[in-house]
Amino acid sequence: AQSVTQPDIHITVSEGASLELRCNYSYGATPYLFWYVQSPGQGLQLLLKYFSGDTLVQGIKGFEAEFKRSQSSFNLRKPSVHWSDAAEYFCAVALYKLSFGAGTTVTVRA
């Protein structure tokens, strides 16, 4: 069955520390891959996307993600987290339709 998994439900990180959010997918072919962020009370905003080519993609707000075909993963990273990065993060995959993972809540402590 096709699925997208975010293993971490909740991550707490200190301001200034690095952040990595995990995403794994299970599809017959390599889908298009996305990371979205949802700030409290807001809609979702696209952080970055991977269609093909360079497996390290840069996004907005200082985020990057790396596609690893052998691991069926598309992990999101940020070298130094700011308090405003506290939000819900969704990995999504598209193969004829867009399907979202269950999300990872990121809490930033001072």
Partner 1 sequence: DTAVSQTPKYLVTQMGNDKSIKCEQNLGHDTMYWYKQDSKKFLKIMFSYNNKELIINETVPNRFSPKSPDKAHLNLHINSLELGDSAVYFCASSQASVDTGELFFGEGSRLTVL
Q: What single-letter DSSP state applies at residue 103?
A: -
Which of 12/80 has CB closer to partner 1?
A: 12
Under 8 Å between Cβ of 97 and 2:
no
- Rule CB under 8 A: is residue 69 a binding residue for partner 1? no
**Non-local CB neighbours of 92 within 8 Å, separated by 6+ positions:** 4, 33, 34, 35, 36, 98, 99, 100, 101
Q: Provide the minimum distance between the beta carbon of 64 and partner 1 in the complex, in angstroms, as a whole number.
A: 17
Q: Which of 58, 102, 107, 109 binds partner 1 (CB under 8 A)?
A: 102
Q: Provide the minimum distance between the beta carbon of 50 and partner 1 in the complex, in angstroms, as a whole number.
A: 12
Q: Provide the minimum distance between the beta carbon of 101 and partner 1 in the complex, in angstroms, as a whole number.
A: 9
What is the Cα–Cα distance from 55 to 2, expressed in whole angstroms?
A: 22
- Rule CB under 8 A: is residue 60 a binding residue for partner 1? no
- Rule CB under 8 A: is residue 29 a binding residue for partner 1? no
Which residue bears the tokens 């979702």?
A: 44
- Rule CB under 8 A: is residue 40 a binding residue for partner 1? no
Among residues 23, 26, 33, the alpha carbon closest in space to that of 3 is found at 26
List of residues contacting partner 1 (CB under 8 A): 32, 34, 36, 38, 41-46, 49, 88, 90, 94, 96-100, 102-103, 105
